[in-house]
Amino acid sequence: MPSLRPIHNRLRRLLGIGHADFLAGAVERWQICPPELAAIAPGIWLPDQVEHIARTEFGALPDILAQMRGNPAEPTPATMGYRFRDVDFVDGVLHARGADRHLRQRRHSGLTYSRPRESLSGALYESWIGNRWFGNWLLNDCLAYRLAEGAGAPVTSAPPRAGHVARYEELLGMAPRRIGDVHFDELILFDDLHNNGHRRARAQENRARVLAGHDPSPRPGVFIFRGASGDARILENEAEIAERLEAEYGFSTLYIDRMDADELAQAAGTTRLVVGVEGSQLAHGVIAMAAGGTVLTLQPADRVTTSLKLLTDCWRQNYAMVVGSGTAGGYRVEWDQLRRTLDLIATVTARNPAPEVS
């Protein structure tokens, strides 16, 4: 039997009623962590870096500057849970009466859909950005999984995957029910993108799970090699930088296409400095490195972003940035610029010791 919910929701928009807030349709809501003031550490960069920025990504320049300034007492919203009834999940979209919520790119177009035959109840922890980028899955969605397992049966539309994803699910104790198109008799969702104490505690829990059984020797730093993986961000002298960090600072270079999740986590868990091209591959470092460590991103001038800083803030790590010359299709970071930034990181972190974590 076809459902007319997509037509109904589109008509609301055409009639000027607006796009309804999906969360407003919850039959129950509860506070998991109350609002609080959180200390947000300032980012670390050389004084002239702003002058190198040609274009920003995922936020305007004032947003970038605000993130890099930090805030010793930033108002942080509550973490919330929401319970819904009578929701269809079809082609990556949640359909309720009067609202919809997209979690994946739709494969099909159309103003109707066939009602799913399967009905169930569960707690959905996935997100649009987590389905789009590996780093957001590992550092956002896998935190929400801890909420889902406590609130009901965790479910996800993500198919089984091999490689790093599959192994991280094992390390993190994740065993969700995998779904296709279904009808939810009851559905639980979360608003869990705010770095309050509850979320930060779950980050440390996930870190402990990933590193369980590892007792490696400390390393001065790791460079996570990106190469041509993921969306194009081609650091033309990436290999040269990796070699010089090894030779002059004693770094280890990690290769995501050659190393499994255990090897990456073990290496990153031994250091207080993770360096690499800004991108999802650095999530291997964020999840494993201890609080008080620093993630240093190397960024092209036409794609400067602090999106990863939101995640290092959650893991209570420092965030640093070098803006290179050129575009995402091909750019360079000069060694002297990187060396001076490493010196600055050493100065700042010596002045601000690692925060205590429970």
- 159, 282: one domain: no
Q: Which domain holds residue 297?
A: 39-75+216-351
- d(Cα 193, Cα 188) in Å, to the nearest integer? 16
- 116, 12: one domain: yes
- In a domain, residue 198? The reply is no
- 226, 260: one domain: yes
- 232, 135: one domain: no
pLDDT at 164 over 80: yes
pLDDT at 155 over 80: yes
- Residue 225: what residue type? F
Phi, psi of 135 (to 5 degrees): -60, -40
170: helix, coil or strand?
helix
pLDDT digits (tens, 9 = 90+) for 52-83: 999 999 999 999 999 999 999 999 999 999 99
- Given a contact cutoff of 8 angstroms between Cβ atoms, the answer to whether 297 and 322 are in contact is yes
The confidence band for 150, taking pLDDT boundaries of 50, 70 and 90, is: very high
Average pLDDT, whole number, for the chain?
A: 91
Hey, what's the torsion of the CAs at 264, 270, 275, 277, to 10 degrees? Answer: 10
- In a domain, residue 211? The reply is no
- 173, 233: one domain: no
Q: For position 161, what pLDDT does the model report?
A: 87
- 223, 324: one domain: yes
332: helix, coil or strand?
strand
pLDDT digits (tens, 9 = 90+) for 94-106: 999 878 999 998 8
Domain count, the chain: 2
The confidence band for 214, taking pLDDT boundaries of 50, 70 and 90, is: confident
- d(Cα 304, Cα 297) in Å, to the nearest integer? 10
pTM: 0.91
- 272, 158: one domain: no
- In a domain, residue 329? The reply is yes
Cβ-based neighbour number of residue 201 at 10 Å: 15
pLDDT at 285 over 80: yes
- 288, 143: one domain: no
- 67, 129: one domain: no
Q: For position 108, what pLDDT does the model report?
A: 74
The confidence band for 112, taking pLDDT boundaries of 50, 70 and 90, is: confident
Q: For position 19, what pLDDT does the model report?
A: 57
pLDDT at 297 over 80: yes
- 7, 139: one domain: yes
Q: For position 15, what pLDDT does the model report?
A: 44
225: helix, coil or strand?
strand
Q: What is the CATH number of the domain that holds 221?
A: 3.40.50
- 20, 46: one domain: no
pLDDT digits (tens, 9 = 90+) for 251-273: 999 999 999 999 999 999 999 99
Q: For position 1, what pLDDT does the model report?
A: 52
- In a domain, residue 356? The reply is no
Cβ-based neighbour number of residue 105 at 10 Å: 11
Residue 88: Cβ-neighbour burial (10 angstroms; 0-12, 13-18, 19+): buried
Using the 3D structure, point to which of 193, 225, 255 is the last residue of a domain: 193
Nearest to 7 by CA among 111, 115, 113, 116: 111
pLDDT at 210 over 90: yes
Q: Residue ranges of the alpha helices (H) in 212-317?
A: 238-249, 261-268, 283-288, 307-314
- Residue 253: what residue type? T
pLDDT at 7 over 60: no
- 184, 299: one domain: no
The confidence band for 213, taking pLDDT boundaries of 50, 70 and 90, is: confident
pLDDT digits (tens, 9 = 90+) for 335-358: 999 999 999 999 999 887 666 554
Using the 3D structure, point to which of 140, 161, 193 is the last residue of a domain: 193
- d(Cα 225, Cα 279) in Å, to the nearest integer? 10
- d(Cα 153, Cα 175) in Å, to the nearest integer? 10
Those residues whose C-beta lies under 8 Å from the C-beta of residue 299, and which sit 6 or more positions away, are 233, 277, 278, 305, 321, 322, 323, 324
